[in-house]
A and B are shown apart, each in its own frame.
Chain A
């Protein structure tokens, strides 16, 4: 009876598993195979080149720059991405107008990355953009935020926070709803204020949600592409160039070098895997999953 039920379950799962195998697992493994070849679109002949594509990455200075930029973006954006939506969620968990405000904060997330990028590109245009107009009015002169290596990546981070804060806000709100009210009431009776309650109750009980946000953000950050491509195209110079942009250009702009691009993709995959495992290991002891 149990075996029959098991077969039924697999029967229901089969269509999904087949699609997953065809469109996820197979391309992934085929990408691994390609990374050991000199595959180029338009040139049917492929030859096995061993680790040559990986060795070339060791000498590719633009890949190194891209990797560094990606790492910088990931580290620098983590705290704002974790903290800002959390503070907004705590503020919006109660109070008047919360439905309207939640909607307002979530709205940017409904926009496509191209829309977000083009909007900010226009807002920040150094000559005709309204942001610079008022900034110049306040401090005397405007700045070319996206043309300066020192500020371009920070603008990308700020734009991303503006874009995704609403999404994480909703996740945090769901987590906040699960914290029993009576804990706060008890803490209040014991004389705890809002800040003390936040550190002693909210934060510890939100740990699973925080871990989810943390892990998904790190994975997403390593794959950042859209915002950079629209806002700076990796510039100024290569100062905001990321690994996925480098990979995309190698695969689809510069000679369609699928073999070399696949090697980059696998290096990125390995880095993300290591970071994810580290996160789980570090937080496993503190969080019930």
Chain B
């Protein structure tokens, strides 16, 4: 068949095709151009558990609403921090990172994080009045702001209904009894402990090495890792030694699982009655259909302090300034703060911003209600660049106390000596 017979000449066909392509380009042009103006940002965090999937969903929603793409990297926290320390000085860091409060001082003093101007915060609607003091202050170091808090991972007391029922520890209302003191907790734990079932545990896995639980008890007893001036360790002081002795009694009295056990698995398997652990565990317990209730962390020493460690949005120092990327990162922080109720409901972490606390979906949830009730008792780690290194040194020492390898006093003196030897 010839072209003429088809009714369209080659020239006409080529001209028509070019015109059609041009028209299509013109029609698409403005939209594509608009899409190109939206920055793509890189975002590193340590949300490697169930909460990471929730963050994925929220980021998808954010991208749909704003057109800003986020390339998220979820890295286990310890590796994330090492990676940030190495990559940021090389100019290979992310545009945005989520870190824990206690990481702010050392990253700030090592020049890994950018200082955030007060004006940058206020112009985007971030105000101190919207946050609880511990979370707002956690973003500052030596008078300068380095981060904005997202949420408040914290401890709470989980009570296993099955285990407590078998031990006769349900109240008249059919709900597990809540220990009101240290003696009562130990007494109840002993009542539940038999064979491979334990009455009390603290920490998700490896309870003997669980520094966050140890810190919680220290803070309850008015003790801390460093003295108030942050110059030397306070762990050899009597209040800290008292905590260490209590720590040693858990496994020695056979009320707590061995040092390397998984308390979470034991709780799910119905082999652990009372469990002080992080708020990030409760959505998993619901998924596993464990019959449990939650209560505030009991006051086991002088004050009802609850350990917490807010997640903080930070800007790692970039190689060169990129206003579009920074603006996109701010847009994400603002968006997440405005949608933090979704994060709280799905990931189980109470928001740092008070605005979401009145959301009826949150106030109706029994566990979230408990978590919010602890707000006045939240405490965070001390603002010193040596905090994280001190915590690393603490882990094996408290484990040796837990398993009875070292007496509390000697262990705390040894630990204080090691911490004091850390470089300033």
Q: Could you list which residues of chain A lie within 8 angstroms of chain B, going by C-beta atoms?
A: 40-43, 121, 125-128, 132, 136, 142, 144, 146-149, 232-239, 241, 249, 252-257
Contact = CB atoms under 8 A, between A and B. Distances in A.
Contact of A254 (B86, B112, B392, B400): B392
Contact of B112 (A40, A42, A136, A252): A42
B389 interface: yes
Contact of A127 (B110, B206, B257, B406): B257
B260 to A, nearest CB: 4
Interface of B: 78, 82, 85-86, 89, 106, 110-112, 196, 198, 206, 208-209, 257-262, 265-266, 269, 271-272, 388-389, 392-393, 395-397, 399-400, 403, 405-406, 422-423
A136 B260 CA distance: 17
A147 B403 contact: yes
A127 B111 contact: no
Contacts of B406: 237
A42 B396 CA distance: 27
B206 to A, nearest CB: 7
A256 B392 contact: no
Given A126-B258, A254-B422, A235 B396 contact: yes
A234 B396 contact: yes
Contacts of B399: 235-237
A147 B403 CA distance: 7
Given A128-B265, A235-B259, A256-B110, 12 more contacts: A41-B89, A121-B260, A127-B262, A127-B265, A128-B261, A144-B260, A234-B396, A235-B399, A237-B403, A252-B85, A253-B389, A257-B423
Contacts of B258: 126-127, 144, 147
B193 to A, nearest CB: 12
B103 to A, nearest CB: 12
28 contacts: A40-B423, A41-B89, A41-B110, A42-B110, A121-B260, A126-B261, A127-B257, A127-B272, A128-B266, A128-B271, A144-B260, A147-B258, A147-B260, A147-B403, A149-B403, A149-B405, A233-B206, A235-B208, A235-B396, A236-B259, A236-B260, A236-B399, A237-B406, A238-B396, A241-B396, A254-B393, A255-B422, A255-B423
A41 B259 contact: no
A60 B282 CA distance: 42
Contacts of B106: 255
B388 to A, nearest CB: 8
A236 B403 contact: yes
A125 B206 contact: no
Contact of A147 (B89, B208, B269): B208
A125 B82 contact: no
Contacts of A128: 261-262, 265-266, 269, 271
Nearest to A235: B399
A108 B422 CA distance: 41
A127 B422 contact: no
Nearest to B272: A127
A254 B196 contact: no
Contacts of A43: 110
B208 A236 contact: yes
A235 B209 contact: yes
Of the listed residues A237, A252, A253, A257, the one surrounded by the most CB atoms of chain B closer than 10 A to its CB is: A237
A232 B261 contact: no
Nearest to B106: A255
Contacts of B196: 126-127, 132, 136, 142
B423 A253 contact: no
B203 to A, nearest CB: 13
Nearest to B398: A237
Nearest to B86: A41
Nearest to A44: B89
A43 B106 CA distance: 12
A237 B396 contact: yes
